[in-house]
Chains A and B, each alone.
Chain A
């Protein structure tokens, strides 16, 4: 079974530029998560989708971050304009369950450096 796919793996941009990350979850997984992990910290949930609806985006900086999950499968996370503090790994994860309480599986992450 294929795992969670993410791209690009690495991205370096200048501040105020924009960037987009793509995620394809495990087939059949209804729930998709985007986490931000800053070096030395644990993953922080940015947004959670169930199918193509948003379940939780309370920690998403909506003035610069946006995410969508069209057709309930692939998802894109966009940052515009980027700030230095956005340098982090952006982890996409998916879960079979419609709610929490079940195992989530992570992709390899997209590493962002903002200079």
Chain B
């Protein structure tokens, strides 16, 4: 079982709709969760982080964490073509508190 799992996509969403990206993790004691966006040929850039169960909103982005289900998601409202990128979920596992482990990413395509 991979430590951080994401659907590779591509996920195609019409412009203006809500894009929903999902991630599961294996270490139940994981403490911190991050979403990074990576444009083709560029390095990852942080979108959001979340530590507590529930929702965290930042502009058009909402991160949702459910530790009981070991599930974290990212919602993008009013999707724009500029949101087309690969979205990486990253986890700080309790098993190795100094590590940040990444999933393989989900490719998101926003169609006009």
B-contacting residues of A (Cβ < 8 Å)? 31, 33, 35, 40-45, 48, 50, 55-56, 89, 91, 99-109
Contact = CB atoms under 8 A, between A and B. Distances in A.
Interface of B: 4, 6, 31-32, 34, 42-46, 49, 51, 88, 92, 96-105
B44 A101 contact: no
Contacts of A105: 46
Contacts of A40: 104
Given A42-B102, A42-B105, A100 B46 contact: no
Contacts of B46: 103-105
Contact of B88 (A42, A55, A102): A42
Residue from A33, A41, A89, A101 having most chain B Cβ neighbours under 10 A: A101
A34 to B, nearest CB: 12
A111 to B, nearest CB: 9
B104 A42 contact: yes
Contact of A42 (B42, B96, B103): B103
